[in-house]
Structure 1
């Protein structure tokens, strides 16, 4: 049996937040698709972070 690994949700969210401003529209879409497949609280938080970045990216590329 494997030992459960604790996930530091705060660290994951901080890394995600830091990188959102530098990714392309295509990368944002890829990440959104990946996050959509995740269950639970982490996915909810990642979706919440990604939505404003996607709206901003859409305005910048127009």
Structure 2
């Protein structure tokens, strides 16, 4: 797998040498989309796992 230069296309190859190209599109508001999909904020444990060290815990969704 590889991304193109601007990270909007993913290219993958299967074992039989078939190549696929995937166009990636971010939603207009990625944070709102993430909250809608998850249906909740990150827990403190998830926050410490996924957010860079040193960032104070904060509610991620309204």
Q: Report the TM-score range of the alignment, normalised by the length of the smaller protein.
A: 0.3 to 0.5
Q: With structure 2 as the length reference, what TM-score do the two structures score?
A: 0.34
Larger strand fraction of residues = 2
| Larger Rg belongs to | 2
Q: Which has the higher contact order (CA 8 A, sep 6+)?
A: 1
Q: With structure 1 as the length reference, what TM-score do the two structures score?
A: 0.34
Larger helix fraction of residues = 1
